[in-house]
Amino acid sequence: MTTVLITGANRGIGLEHVRQYADKGARVHACCRDPESANELKALANASGGKIVVHKFDQSRPEDAARLAGEIDEPIDILWNNAGTAGDRSNQVFGTAADTMNAVFDVNVTGPLRLSEALIGHVEKSDRKIIAMQSSQMGSIADNGSGGVYAYRASKAALNMVTRSMATDLADKGVTVVAFHPGWVQTDMGGPNAKISTEESVQGEQEVVDNLTIDRSGEFIRYSGEKLPW
């Protein structure tokens, strides 16, 4: 049985990953900040026959990563670092306050790195050995022709660099590390004008992960499988 851990599992892309992995028969560790208010996630877990286990996890709290690692006593085939924040998405030149930038980086960059470090032993013991980062094409320096959104863009570019470094450093352990662009998705963050549904985005990401091999480690990948420019 494939075992998956997903952060930001209470809504949007994360919730759909939980749903689709559970439908495939995977065991899913679903993590979110406030499980008590995560009604859709709780309903999925209650109907899963024990396949979905919900954990309280706040990516901005360093102690939560170590606690979560201690709660899980089995290998993790796929670690989905999905949780993230958009910050204030300011488009004003030099208009992003330092505390805003730092808060976004803590969730979008430091948080995934911290959790990957806490759970690397679980990943190394698994069959698949995959760490997937939920990045964004807005983190592509080569693709940035519109500017703005300083904190979010910068954090995703930094997450991409974390992905490349981890791929290099974990290659000798057989761990595959990749960053994903999920597309412009119809979520609370993506908004109602987004181009694709959560179902389409997640189905694409999972198909890519299903076929991942170590030679793709360190890549930045669109949900439909194409390699993206840094």
Give the tens place of pLDDT for each residue, 189-219.
555 666 789 999 999 999 999 999 999 999 9
pLDDT of residue 187: 63
Rounded to the nearest integer, the mean pLDDT of the chain is 93
Q: For the chain, give every domain's residue range.
A: 3-222
Paired with 29 in beta bridges are 5, 53
Q: Assess contact for 60 and 35: CB atoms under 8 A.
A: no
pLDDT at 10 over 70: yes
Residue 6, SS3 per DSSP: strand
pLDDT of residue 43: 98
pLDDT of residue 147: 86
Crossing angle for the helix pair 12-23 and 198-210, nearest 10 degrees? 60
**For 94-99, what is the mean pLDDT?**
73
Reported confidence tier of residue 87, pLDDT bands at 50, 70, 90: confident
Long-range contact pairs involving 199-204 (C-beta distance under 8 Å, separation at least 24): 199/16, 199/20, 201/13, 201/16, 202/13, 202/16, 202/17, 202/20, 203/20
Give the global pTM: 0.94
Percent of the chain at pLDDT > 70 equals 92
**For 52-67, what is the mean pLDDT?**
97
Which residues have CB under 8 Å from 199's CB, separation 6+?
A: 16, 20
User: Distance between CA atoms of 62 and 68, rounded to whole angstroms?
Assistant: 11
Reported confidence tier of residue 185, pLDDT bands at 50, 70, 90: confident
pLDDT of residue 89: 61
Crossing angle for the helix pair 111-124 and 150-169, nearest 10 degrees? 30
CATH topology of domain 3-222: Rossmann fold (3.40.50)
pLDDT at 93 over 80: no
Q: Give the type of residue at 177.
A: V
**For 123-151, what is the mean pLDDT?**
94
Reported confidence tier of residue 99, pLDDT bands at 50, 70, 90: confident
